[in-house]
Amino acid sequence: MKKDLVSIADLNGEEIRELFKISAEIKGKQLDLAQGKTLVLVFEKPSLRTRVTFSVAFFQLGGNVIYLAPADIGLGKRESVPDVARNLSRWVDAISARTFAHKTIQELAENASIPVINALSDAEHPCQALADFLTILDHLGSSSEREAFDWGKIKLAYFGDGNNVCHSLMLTAARLGARMVIAGPQGYGPKQEFIEMAQEESKKTGASITITRDPKEAAADADVIYTDVWASMGQEQEAEKRRSLFAPFQVNPELLSYAKPNVLVEHCLPAHRGEEITSDVLDGPNSIVLDEAENRLHIQKAILYRLLPLTGG
């Protein structure tokens, strides 16, 4: 594995499968791998799940955690990003960073001698996508086929904004060989760069990543339906305008009726009930959103378990 997890592109399919395996092996176990070590959380945006799960994961590995809130260090303002990375490398053993610009995490990774993990940027949310695919595996992979799970039989239909979460899901689907269809309004699709990366990888793995404007076509026969907020953190001023444009892509009981009867419904959370997803679906029998939230803990513990020893951290 590389020193850092900045993008899903830092992992290959084998490494993703290995993380799934490790997460199951160390789930719920108190270990001492990180004893005497410190993880620092450098966050430019708010968080519930990511902050708590990274902290609990590191506690379960035996380590300590420091949280630096958006106003604490003035990343790139009070001090340059490379200088912050070089200083932190002298005191702590790993960095988990949540930023606006993706470049900020890239710069942290390039200038830190310790592992840097992307805890969400404007371009990607790799830990989320890994937790989401792990959750699909938990629900659809029987214990005998878990390790050799055939992702080619899974159709993931994503509705709404072609955002950071969508980008990381696309790259993960491409690496695992799954089918993913993205349905959203014109002008709000995933970035071309991510479409190209995912399609290039798909040629090797047999995955299929396609875009449509037709929500019914996307939902048809889907094994998993996924959605995320229509306006991400930092886009709050666009929320009003987006509401009407995105309305046809709402995940509601009608949309579910086009999918497989036992379709799994995923959402990274936080959800805006009544916007991208209705409450009856979010709280309904198909929803596995809390399993995803729980799996953030297990997959990030596996990521830290795998990356920490790489730098003697």
Binding site residues, ligand NVA, CB under 6 A: 120, 163-165, 228-229, 232-233, 268
* Residue 296 appears among annotated catalytic residues: yes
**In whole angstroms, how close is the CB of 235 to ligand NVA at the nearest point?**
8
Give yes or no for a cis peptide into 270 (omega within 30° of 0): yes
**In whole angstroms, how close is the CB of 163 to ligand NVA at the nearest point?**
5
17, 102, 125, 298: which one is catalytic?
125
Query: What residue type is assigned to position 174 of the chain?
Result: A
Q: What is the DSSP letter of 273?
A: B
**In whole angstroms, how close is the CB of 54 to ligand CP at the nearest point?**
9
- Minimum CB distance to ligand CP smaller for 31 or for 52: 52
CB 173 within 8 A of CB 179: yes
Whole-angstrom Cα distance, residue 62 to residue 199? 40
What one-character-per-residue DSSP string does 53-118 give? HHHHHHHHTT-EEEEE-HHHH-BTTTB-HHHHHHHHHHH-SEEEEE-SSHHHHHHHHHH-SS-EEE
* Residue 49 appears among annotated catalytic residues: no
- Minimum CB distance to ligand NVA smaller for 188 or for 258: 188
- Minimum CB distance to ligand NVA smaller for 118 or for 232: 232
**In whole angstroms, how close is the CB of 133 to ligand CP at the nearest point?**
14
SS3 16: helix
Angle at CA of residue 122, ends 136 and 294, nearest 5°: 30
* Residue 228 appears among annotated catalytic residues: yes
Q: Which does 48 bind (CB under 5 to 8 A by kind): ligand CP, ligand NVA, none?
A: ligand CP
* Residue 138 appears among annotated catalytic residues: no
Q: Which does 228 bind (CB under 5 to 8 A by kind): ligand CP, ligand NVA, none?
A: ligand NVA
- Site residues (CB under 6 A) for ligand CP? 47-50, 120, 128, 268-270
Strands 116-118 and 224-227: unpaired
- Minimum CB distance to ligand CP smaller for 52 or for 310: 52
Whole-angstrom Cα distance, residue 256 to residue 17? 29
Catalytically active residues, by annotation = 98, 125, 128, 228, 268, 296
